Structure formats: C-alpha cells, structure tokens
Amino acid sequence: MAKLKVYEYPHPILREHASKVEKVDHETRKLLDDMLETMYVESGVGLAAPQVGVSKRMLVIDYERDEENPGKPIYMINPEIIWASDEKVCGEEGCLSVPGMRAEVERFAKVRVRYLDYHGKEQEVLAEDFFAIVVQHEMDHLDGILYIDHLSRLKRNMLVKKLEKSREK
Ligand code: NI
C-alpha cells in the first residue's frame, strides 16, 4: 500500500463529476487499498477517489477505528442512494480536502445505498447515524460537491477565508 497525495480545495479535480467504474479489477482494488492507507495516515473516516486525484466513483469509509480497534473498512464502488429518510440530522463535518475546518451540515438521517464491494459484488446497506452522514459526504465528492457547498454563502465565505489564512502561516 502507498500513501497518496490528497488534493485540497480549490483544486478543480474536486469539482468534476466522477465517472463510473466499468470493471472491478486488480487496479481498482490497488487504488482502494492505497486510499484506505492514505485515509488512515491522515486520520480521516472517509475518502473518495477524486480526493486523491482519480475521477472515479469509488470511496472508502472506516469510522470505527481507534487505538484499541483495528477498524472495519467499507469499500464502495459506483454507490447509489436508493432510499432516503424524511428525517434529517445535523452534524459537524470536516474533510481532508478542506483541512482544519469543521461546520454543521444537514443530511438525511438514514439512507439505503447500493454499491459494488471490493470484489465487485453488488451489496446494499442501510446507513444510519454517523455512517449515514459519512456516506453522504463521501458520495457528494463523486459529484464534485464539498460539504462547504451545503452551508449558507456567508458561512462558506467565512470558512474559506479562515482556510486561506491558515495556509499563509
Ligand atoms: Ni470530504
């Protein structure tokens, strides 16, 4: 496994509509492995392929890992939301592509997602609680959307200014 470069706002790759993965092969799995490694090194809970410069519909999630827990990686290829709850939730989000920043974002409380797994097999999962938030955040990346796009213009401008200021240091 290798650690990959994480592209940061406002890199244009983060704004592309990622293309569908046509075939789940060795190369696909190698990228997923490297994405997971990168996410662990950067202490993230989710990472989408566009964030490492690959405009493909793939993501990795692991929100259960800590010092005592080896974690449980989830790999999703071509994920689709096939059902969303009426109920919404608000949670604080951050993103490896918008380093050091956090903000409250509204999401569906539950979503059912259909995807291909690490071996190219079709799966369905009902994502709830924190998992639901993470999967919606990562799936947004595949459509060129960042969590800051869900904020009001005023909040977004403040956050971007803060980000730019933190980079000057
Ligand atoms: Ni993100």
Q: What are 121-133's pLDDT values in tens digits?
A: 999 999 999 999 9
Number of domains the chain contains: 1
Q: What digits encode the pLDDT tens for the residues 79-124? A: 999 999 999 999 999 999 999 999 999 999 999 999 999 999 999 9
CA–CA gap between residue 99 and residue 104 (Å, rounded):
15
Statement: residue 68 has pLDDT above 80: yes
CA–centroid distance, residue 6 to ligand 1 (Å): 10
Domain that holds residue 138: 12-168
Residue 6 lies in a domain: no
How are beta strands 110-116 and 122-128 bridged, if at all? antiparallel
Q: What is the pLDDT of residue 66?
A: 83
Residue 110 lies in a domain: yes
Residue 3 lies in a domain: no
Q: Specify the CATH number for the domain of residue 55.
A: 3.90.45.10
Residue 16 lies in a domain: yes
CA–centroid distance, residue 71 to ligand 1 (Å): 19
Residue 7 lies in a domain: no
Q: Write the CB contacts of 22 (distance below 8 Å, at least 6 apart in sequence).
A: none
CA–CA gap between residue 18 and residue 6 (Å, rounded):
16
Residue 73 lies in a domain: yes
Residue 61 lies in a domain: yes
CA–centroid distance, residue 169 to ligand 1 (Å): 23
Tell me whether residue 124 is one of the annotated catalytic residues: no
